[in-house]
């Protein structure tokens, strides 16, 4: 009798386990498919902006049906917000990797600046203005991330640099962080004036130098001199 019960339990368990594994595989495939769509859409938004593309354009340019697109996103705003969340999560991971390399504060700040330049160099300059006008929810996600992730990273970098003697000991960390965040936001959201004759990388590097020279101690200035002479 006991053997019969075990046999019955196996007969019930195996089909259930098989269905669960099949469902997990389907969910994984859907997530991978969704990520592919997001990555391609991010590329489209970066090059063409958000306003000029509707769901039909996005699906057509990716060679998928509108029905497929709507299977993953309820509307364009949902797609834009999903793209923003994906990009912000990717940025957070990359910034965390940089801060965990064991570099000094100046080198950490420099590497983060290089990452930002690589990410945003080809971005449509009107993207943030379009988000502000047509997708404020997505822009709010970006602004919250700036405060929670980037702001915290800058704050900790300044403290680290002061502890290492590379940054001035008299810095008011909260104020410097706030100034940095304000300038950075205006720079990447295309709010700077009289900069049309310069590339984004040129503008951002001047911003980095402006910031890093302003907060560096004598020791930090010497390190910067050597660092930039090598480049």
Express each pLDDT in 63-100 by its tens digit: 999 999 999 999 999 999 999 999 999 999 999 999 99
Q: What is the mean pLDDT of residues 199-218?
A: 94
pTM summary value: 0.83
Q: What is the mean pLDDT of residues 23-50?
A: 86
pLDDT of residue 6: 52
Task: Report CA-CA distances (Å) from 182 to 112, 146, 155, 176, 179.
Answer: 17, 10, 14, 10, 5
Look at residue 51 and tell me whether its pLDDT is greater than 70. Answer: yes
Show me where the domains of the chain are located. Answer: 1-73, 75-231
pLDDT of residue 40: 96
Dist CA 16 CA 10 (whole Å): 10
> Which architecture, in CATH terms, is 1-73?
Orthogonal Bundle (1.10)
Torsions phi, psi for 187 (to 5 deg): -70, -50
What angle do helix axes 105-120 and 76-99 make, rounded to 10 degrees?
A: 150
Contacts of 139 (CB under 8 A, 6+ apart): 128, 131, 132
pLDDT of residue 5: 45
Q: What is the pLDDT of residues 141-179, one digit of tens each?
A: 999 998 889 999 999 999 999 999 999 999 999 999 999
pLDDT-above-70 percentage for the chain:
87
Contacts of 46 (CB under 8 A, 6+ apart): 122, 123, 124, 127
Look at residue 11 and tell me whether its pLDDT is greater than 90. Answer: no
- DSSP letter (8 states) at residue 146: I
Q: What is the mean pLDDT of residues 23-40?
A: 83
pLDDT of residue 2: 45
DSSP-H helix ranges across 100-217: 105-120, 127-134, 136-145, 151-164, 173-188, 200-215
106 and 216 Cβ atoms separated by less than 8 Å? yes
Task: Report CA-CA distances (Å) from 195 to 68, 75, 156, 182, 187.
Answer: 41, 35, 30, 17, 10
Q: Which of 10-14, 73-77, 119-123, 179-183 shows the lowest mean pLDDT across its residues? A: 10-14
pLDDT of residue 120: 86
The domain 75-231 having CATH identifier 1.10.357.10: the answer here is yes
């Amino acid at each position: 009798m006991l053997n019969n019960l075990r046999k019955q339990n196996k007969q019930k368990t195996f089909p259930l386990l098989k269905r669960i594994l099949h469902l997990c595989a389907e969910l994984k495939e859907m997530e991978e498919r969704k990520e592919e769509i997001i990555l391609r859409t991010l590329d489209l938004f970066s090059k063409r902006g958000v306003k000029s593309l509707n769901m039909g354009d996005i699906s057509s340019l990716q060679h998928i049906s509108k029905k497929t697109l709507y299977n993953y996103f309820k509307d364009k705003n949902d797609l834009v917000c999903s793209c923003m969340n994906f990009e912000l999560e990717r940025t957070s991971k990359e910034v965390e990797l940089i801060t965990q390399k064991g570099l000094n504060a100046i080198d950490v700040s420099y590497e983060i600046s290089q990452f930002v330049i690589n990410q945003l160099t080809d971005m449509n300059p009107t993207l943030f203005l379009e988000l502000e006008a047509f997708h404020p929810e997505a822009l709010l996600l970006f602004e919250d991330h700036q405060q929670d992730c980037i702001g915290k990273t800058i704050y900790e970098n300044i403290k680290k640099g002061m502890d290492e003697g590379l940054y001035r000991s008299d810095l008011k960390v909260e104020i410097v962080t706030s100034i940095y965040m304000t300038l950075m936001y205006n720079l990447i959201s295309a709010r700077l004036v009289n900069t049309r004759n310069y590339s984004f990388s040129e503008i951002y590097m001047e911003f980095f130098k402006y910031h890093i020279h302003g907060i560096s101690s004598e020791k930090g200035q010497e390190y910067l001199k050597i660092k930039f002479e090598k480049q």
